[in-house]
Amino acid sequence: MPELKKVLHMRTLVAASLGIALASSDYPALVKAASEVGGWAVVLAIICAGLVTGLVAFSFAELAGMYPTAAGVRVYTKRAFGDTASLTITIFYVFFAIIIASAETYIFAAVLHALSPALSAKLWVIIFLAVAVVVNILGIEIAGTLQDILTSLMLTCIIGLSLYAIFSRHFHIASVPFAPMGLDGFSTAIAAAIFLYAGFEWTTPLAEEVASGKSVLSYSLLISVAVLTVTFALFAYAAMGNVPLGQLVGTPIPHLVFGNTVAGRIGLYIMAAISFLATMSSFNGGVMGNSRLIYALAREGSFPKFMSKLHPKYFTPWIALLVIFSLIAVFSISVAMTEAFLVPILVAASIEALMFAIISFSVIALRYREKDTERVFKIRGGIIIPLFTGIVFLALTLGILVSSSKYVVILFVVGFVLSFLYSKYIVPRLGH
Amino acid sequence: MVTAETLISTLNTFVEKVNANLTLKKILKGWSKLVVIKTKDPDTEATLKVEKGTVIDMKFEDTPTADIILSANADVINDIFTGKANPSRLYLDGTLKVFASQKDQMVLDAIVDIVWK
């Protein structure tokens, strides 16, 4: 087998994974997790979420090694569970990407509004999406060395400011309770913390650009989860020791509140800059990747054919991009009008947890269905790890839904049911 | 079952169609890549050298490195390059493997789509 002339290496894969996962919407999710336990036990919740997500990374690695494809979820689940189930799951996953992008758009708009209050968050949403749609249609991508630099810069700033906060004289973690809400909220805190890792797996499509699909990708996913765990645990510890939880809850920009409290205007601008980089890199990987998935589904015949139109100059799926951005605009403006920013975050967390469960069960199903298919990376210990993560993430999905508002449950159920009905009844009628 | 000779003939016909297509020439004027098509059953390897949207060379021997690598069974590759099969469908069920940057994959798909439109 020949090698690709230009292959991606470990550092770039880790940077790409971190770039997608490190998002502005992580901070309100982290505060939501903290509010469930009421104290700095949130650090423990983040570590637990990191451990189980690390275990699910093995499943992604095994599947990406078997099928190195940009349409990962579609291929894995089609092989494991058949066409209709796979299409339902894939469309639900696209819905997840739109929801997460909507949350990210609103949070970033809130950051811009905080810096420039003359323009409302709603207006910033529109300005940001207008710029993002043009950038995406032009096919401008943050890749390679630039991604490495931006991710390193983000991590240095977050970790640097967290350490500065921990070693400042205002740090008072000793007076902050550990878990005043008791352990009842601990599992919900872990479930909310899963959001912090959302999108880390979106580098599996890059398996097609890794040297012969070797296990570089598997290790990059594990490193990414480890770095995210350390970064967010450190940030949470620093935030809990410097800012009363009450000041962080209820605001879409707790990271700016933290920055301002710890280092005044400089801290605020550092966190705003981090937010800018985080949103850019998350959007870049997430939206572009999903537009290509929609394009491929339209070419396959699962979406209307017009969605498979490519821009003749930039080779970007511009119709798919316009569809995605229109939906993001509807959801993010709804969030801006209601200020219910936790709803899309919790919906995304619950869908991501369900996806992690499905991926784990896909590994198990394919162990029996496709025993002889070559596996570049194989999880040791039989089906124990995927079975464990499958059950854990299924429980976490239910945990989020049971403990969240009715709007979270409604969006989750409506999204899933529509995905199923579309796959079962509309796709066969498309007939192309 | 597809023989190596059939596959060579299919690829030759496809290359002729690509080179004769004015739309492709226009939209691929900046696209120069080395594309390897690797098949199983029978094992063959075709290397297509594309310069500014025109296939200037095709040889059937092993190539150490390439910009784009397509890999599938010979009958699958034959169906794709004769326009009988939808490459996206085969790609989405894991039958066809494509190793390339995301953008090059889109370009490749556009080529197949335009040729068989």
* pLDDT of residue A5 exceeding 80: no
CA distance A413 to A418: 8
Of A157-166, A304-313, A403-412, which range is least confident? Answer: A304-313
Please judge whether A78 and B38 are an interchain contact, meaning their C-beta atoms are less than 8 angstroms apart: no
- How many residues are listed for chain A in this entry? 432
CB A255 within 8 A of CB A107: no
B98: domain CATH number? Answer: 3.30.1050.10
Give CA separation, A360 vs A55, A61, A93, A232, A363, in Å: 9, 11, 15, 25, 5
User: What DSSP string runs through A25-63?
Assistant: THHHHHHHHHHHHSSTTHHHHHHHHHHHHHHHHHHHHHH
Residue A1 belongs to some domain of the structure:
no
Return the beta strands (E) in A163-308 as ranges.
none
Say which residue, A71 or A383, is predicted with more confidence: A383
CB A34 within 8 A of CB A189: yes
Say which residue, A260 or A286, is predicted with more confidence: A260
Count of C-beta atoms within a 10 Å radius of residue A422: 15
Please judge whether B92 and A3 are an interchain contact, meaning their C-beta atoms are less than 8 angstroms apart: no
Of A136-150, A254-268, A343-357, which range is least confident? Answer: A136-150
CA dihedral (A119, A123, A125, A130) positive or negative: negative
Count of C-beta atoms within a 10 Å radius of residue A117: 9
**How far apart are the CA of A363 and the nearest CA of chain B, in angstroms?**
15
**Domain count along chain A:** 1
Contacts of A5 in chain B (CB under 8 A): 34, 65-67
What is the residue whose two structure tokens read 């296990």? A215
A309: domain CATH number? Answer: 1.20.1740.10
Residue A4 belongs to some domain of the structure:
no
Q: Using omega within 30 degrees of 0 as the cis cutoff, is the peptide bond preceding A304 cis? A: no
* pLDDT of residue A213 exceeding 70: no
Average pLDDT over residues A82-107: 94
Please judge whether A69 and B93 are an interchain contact, meaning their C-beta atoms are less than 8 angstroms apart: no
| CA nearest to B71 within chain A | A1
Going by the DSSP 8-state scheme, the letter that residue B42 receives in this structure is T
Q: Closest to B91 (Cβ–Cβ): which among A296, A308, A313?
A: A296
Count of C-beta atoms within a 10 Å radius of residue A186: 19
Residue-number span of the structural domain to which B61 is assigned: 4-115
CB A397 within 8 A of CB A356: no
| CA nearest to A212 within chain B | B99
Contacts of B71 in chain A (CB under 8 A): 1
Q: Closest to A2 (Cβ–Cβ): which among B64, B86, B101?
A: B64
Structure tokens at A140: 């401008």
Contacts of A66 in chain B (CB under 8 A): 94
Residues of A with CB under 8 A from a CB of B: 1-6, 66-71, 74-75, 78-79, 139, 205, 208-209, 213, 288-289, 292, 295-297, 299-301, 308, 310, 312-313, 315-317
pLDDT for position B113: 85
Count of C-beta atoms within a 10 Å radius of residue B20: 10
Structure tokens at B6: 């059939």
**How far apart are the CA of B85 and the nearest CA of chain A, in angstroms?**
10
**How far apart are the CA of A350 and the nearest CA of chain B, in angstroms?**
25
CA distance A144 to A106: 28
Mean pLDDT over all residues of chain A? 91
pLDDT for position A429: 87
pLDDT for position A374: 85
Residue A215 belongs to some domain of the structure:
yes
**How far apart are the CA of A270 and the nearest CA of chain B, in angstroms?**
33
Contacts of A13 in chain B (CB under 8 A): none
Please judge whether B105 and A297 are an interchain contact, meaning their C-beta atoms are less than 8 angstroms apart: no
Residue-number span of the structural domain to which A149 is assigned: 10-430
What ipTM was reported for this prediction?
0.86
Structure tokens at B87: 């490459």
Contacts of A289 in chain B (CB under 8 A): 102
Count of C-beta atoms within a 10 Å radius of residue A223: 18
Residue A2 belongs to some domain of the structure:
no
* pLDDT of residue B52 exceeding 70: yes
Average pLDDT over residues B86-110: 87
Structure tokens at A321: 């991009």
CB A348 within 8 A of CB A101: no
Q: What percent of chain A has pLDDT over 70?
A: 98
Which residue, among A253, A197, A205, has the nearest Cα to A228 in the 3D structure? A197
**Domain count along chain B:** 1
Residue A196 belongs to some domain of the structure:
yes
Q: List the beta bridge partners of residue B65.
A: A3
The single-letter code of the amino acid at B102 is Q
Q: Using omega within 30 degrees of 0 as the cis cutoff, is the peptide bond preceding A312 cis? A: no
Question: Three-state DSSP class for A289?
Answer: helix
CB A21 within 8 A of CB A100: no
Say which residue, B56 or A145, is predicted with more confidence: B56
How confident is the model over A173-208, as pLDDT tens digits? 999 998 888 777 898 899 999 999 998 988 876 776
Residues of B with CB under 8 A from a CB of A: 27, 34, 36, 38, 45, 62-67, 69, 71, 86-89, 91-94, 97-103, 105-107, 109-110, 113
Of A140-154, A374-388, A416-430, B19-33, which range is least confident? Answer: A140-154
Please judge whether B101 and A5 are an interchain contact, meaning their C-beta atoms are less than 8 angstroms apart: no
CA distance A145 to A282: 16
Going by the DSSP 8-state scheme, the letter that residue B45 receives in this structure is E
A to B CB pairs, distance under 8 Å = 96
Average pLDDT over residues A374-394: 93
pLDDT for position A432: 57
